[in-house]
Amino acid sequence: MADTKTTQNYGAENIQVLEWLEPVRKRPWMYIGSTDERGLHHLVWEIVDNSIDEAMAGHCDTITVTFGADGSCMVEDNGRGIPVEKHAKTGKSTLETILTVLHAGGKFGWGGYKVSGGLHWVGSSVVNALSTKLEAWVHRDGKVHYQSFSLGVSDGDIKVVGDTDHTGTIIRFFPDASIFKTTVNFDYKTIITRMRQQAYLTKGIKLITIDERSGERYKFFFEGWVKSYVNFLNKNDHTIGDVFYAEKDKDDIMTEVSLQYNREFSNNIISFVNNIHTPEGGTHMTGFRTALTRTINKYARDKGILKEKDQNLTNEDVIEGIVVVLSVKVIDPQFEGQTKSKLGTPEARGAVDSAMSAAFMEFLEENPSSAKAICEKVNLAAKARLAARAARDTVIRKGALEGMTLPGKLADCSSKDPAVSELYIVEGDSAGGSAKQGRDRETQAILPLRGKILNTEQARIDKIFANEQIKNLIIALGTSIGETFDVSKLRYHRIVIMTDADVDGAHIRTLLLTFFFRYMKEIVDGGYLYIAQPPLYKLTKGKNSWYVYTEEEKTALVAERDIIGDNVQRYKGLGEMNPEQLWETTMDHDARKMYRVGIDDAQAADEMFKILMGGEVAPRRKFIQSRAKSVKNLDV
């Protein structure tokens, strides 16, 4: 017998649910950032983050994430279980409310360290709305409670489906392929990287991932926590001194920081707020940098290592070759910046500074050999900085970097509007010649590069300035480099690396990528960098011809059109194509294929560059041996 009142209530709620479901499904990118692979993985992070919150609140120690052969993702934790009792106001269970109502900002009745306001911050309800099916099992009060949903709408009331002797939550969902058009395939490597990171950041947590598609399993548990993270990040480098670690709770802000130096010139500083990566830094990073610089200066002065009164180590000096993991937990953090990944909370600055200063001074005092090695390292960095400045000043005085004299090799485009201008960096003079003839002169500029360019991972900035090829590139780009780098001066908003599809081409491409990552990261971050995709083959049959870009495409087309061997032409180098062919296949705005370089995972890219380009030989050999086949395709 239907109770009118209840029916009416449910009707009204369902309308509410549908009302917010529509915008989420219509404009999903507003809730999850994008609907590509990255957006797809946000669904996983959202559910896992809820389990991690439960772990941070001290109620859960094991989280298992399983990718089913059926395309599903299942997250299981042994926390308290999402509350299931009916909510007096809504008439729905708390579980259903959580899964069907969009919570702007913080969570429903949810205390602790939950973060709100991030661009990618979505609720479980968004995951539900973007899944064809979502099922929840809650083990609580001795019973297993179950409820399922289709496209965000409940299939029926929550019900008890069995007894249980433990507590916890299981959520399984199938992402909707009509939303995620690029792919609904979870990438296990992306998942593993994230799980490892989370395990480093959450004390005492066990993270298990199972890929039923491949049978792979991983279990992450780190005794040493952020200290283990520093060890992991430094595993391919010659380290200098011991690992420093400190933790401190001050004014409700919990700081954990670990660091260790290595012999590289670049640094690797990773910061988190409530386990969320903050690539843009913020007040916590400012506190860290200030404390690090002040403490090392004070120590070096006290010990007579800095002799002259006015000699000072800059922040730049003390972060050369440093690996840092900084993790803070803040209640209700404020985020700023373009991608809402910069901490704005003013109190974090003082809290981190105070956690860092005293403990790091103590570390230096108690580990004199580490302290000595660190001081030598940063002193050398200071000397190099002064030398680099002198070298740069000379270069700048000569006007070489002023953009006044564009390199003779550059065939510039006639447009002066960076938004439509493209720079093709082309391997070799002959391909450069074809590109110059075949291009659209209005918008496409060509810069040929001859021979090997400098390995920028191993070179100091003063050497880089002196390298002719690199200098030409910097001048052509118009941004300058180092302290005077200014991305707003970039003359082309599309920079295309065009190299041959062979090992040499891959090497040159990797060198160029290394250069951009190390010295012009804003160009990568801004999405200005691309890799051209020239065809691998030209297939001909009678009067028809086709360009194909992959081996698979070739095999398919040869079979489909019944093409004989003689009519399959493999392009070994760009130089084999005449100007028209190069235009048609690789440069024509309407027909070309292009790969945009981005780093979702700066860490993985950084590691690869270090292995491939750094001074250490053993890890490079290991890497190349383990991936002999894929090393040719070093697309990051």
Tell whether residue 77 is a contact of ligand 1YM (CB under 6 A).
Answer: yes
C-alpha torsion 100→104→107→109, nearest 10:
-90
Answer yes or no whether residue 64 interacts with ligand 1YM by CB under 6 A.
no
Residue spans of beta strands (DSSP E) within 320-454: 322-329, 335-336, 342-343, 422-427, 444-449
Q: Which of 35, 51, 125, 131 binds ligand 1YM (CB under 6 A)?
A: 51
> Strand pairing partners for 181?
none
The dihedral over CA atoms of 413, 415, 420, 425, expressed in degrees to the nearest 10, equals 20
Classify 453 as helix, strand or coil.
coil
CB distance 433 to 439 below 8 Å: no
| C-alpha–C-alpha distance, residues 233 and 321, integer Å | 12
Identify the residue among 35, 72, 78, 94 touching ligand 1YM (CB under 6 A).
94
- The β-bridge partners of 137 are 146, 170
3-state DSSP call for residue 149?
strand
Please state the closest distance from residue 506 (CB atom) to ligand 1YM, in A: 42
Q: Which helix (H) or strand (E) holds 476?
A: helix 468-477
User: Which of the ranges 15-23, 76-84, 318-326, 580-588 carries the binding residues for ligand 1YM, by CB under 6 A?
Assistant: 76-84
Contact between 520 and 481 (Cβ < 8 Å): yes
Q: Identify the three-state secondary structure at position 276.
A: strand
- Restricting to residues 171-210, name those near ligand 1YM by CB under 6 A: 171
Query: Which residue type does 41 have?
Result: H
Q: Is 141 in the site for ligand 1YM (CB under 6 A)?
A: no
The answer to whether 126 and 45 have CB atoms below 8 angstroms apart is no
176 catalytic? Reply is no
Separation in Å, CA 22 to CA 17, 90, 103, 521: 9, 20, 15, 38
Of 83 and 282, CB closest to ligand 1YM: 83
Query: What's the closest the beta carbon of residue 343 comes to ligand 1YM, in angstroms?
Result: 23
From 96, 500, 525, 606, the catalytic residue: 500
Q: Nearest distance from residue 557's CB to ligand 1YM, in Å? A: 45
Beta carbon of residue 122, minimum distance to ligand 1YM (angstroms, whole number): 13
| Residue whose beta carbon is closest to ligand 1YM | 50
- Contact indicator for 298, 357 with CB cutoff of 8 Å: no
Residue 107 in contact with ligand 1YM, rule: CB under 6 A: yes
Among 16, 18, 27, 108, binds ligand 1YM (CB under 6 A): 108
> DSSP label at 87?
P
**169, 255, 260, 275: which one binds ligand 1YM (CB under 6 A):** 169
Q: Of 97 and 228, which has the nearer Cβ to ligand 1YM?
A: 97
* Smallest separation, CB 84 to ligand 1YM (Å): 9
Neighbouring C-beta atoms of residue 251, cutoff 10 Å: 10
100: contact with ligand 1YM by CB under 6 A:
no
Distance CA 226, CA 380 (A): 28
Nearest CB to ligand 1YM, comparing residues 62 and 603 = 62
Give the SS3 label for residue 522.
Answer: helix
Residue written as token pair 């926390």: 79
> Which of 54, 96, 427, 607 is labelled catalytic?
427
Question: Among 14-22, 79-87, 200-208, 597-605, which window interacts with ligand 1YM (CB under 6 A)?
Answer: 79-87
CB of 213 to ligand 1YM, least distance (A): 20
Q: With contacts defined by CB under 6 A, how many residues of the chain interact with ligand 1YM?
A: 20
Strands 322-329 and 268-273: parallel
**Measured distance CA(30)–CA(120) in Å, rounded:** 8
Identify which of residues 171 and 201 has a Cβ nearer to ligand 1YM in the complex. Answer: 171
Does the active-site annotation cover 336? no
Tokens of 61: 């120690």
Active-site residue among 280, 332, 347, 504? 504
Catalytic residue among 251, 393, 402, 502: 502
- Residue 504 is among the residues annotated as catalytic for this protein: yes
Quick note: the x/- pattern for ligand 1YM over 31-50, rule CB under 6 A, is ----------------x--x
Among 23, 109, 204, 615, binds ligand 1YM (CB under 6 A): 109
| 427 included as an active-site residue | yes
Closest CA to 375 of 360, 390, 388: 360
Is the CB of residue 325 less than 8 Å from the CB of residue 285? no
Among residues 73, 75, 300, 305, which is the contact residue for ligand 1YM, using CB under 6 A? 75
| Separation between Cα atoms, residue 517 and residue 636, nearest integer Å | 11
| 3-state SS, residue 537 | strand
Q: Least Å distance between CB 69 and ligand 1YM? A: 20
Question: x/- site string to ligand 1YM, residues 4 to 33, per CB under 6 A?
Answer: ------------------------------
Residues that are catalytic? 427, 500, 502, 504
Name the residues that contact ligand 1YM, by CB under 6 A: 47, 50-51, 54, 75, 77, 79-83, 94, 98, 107-111, 169, 171
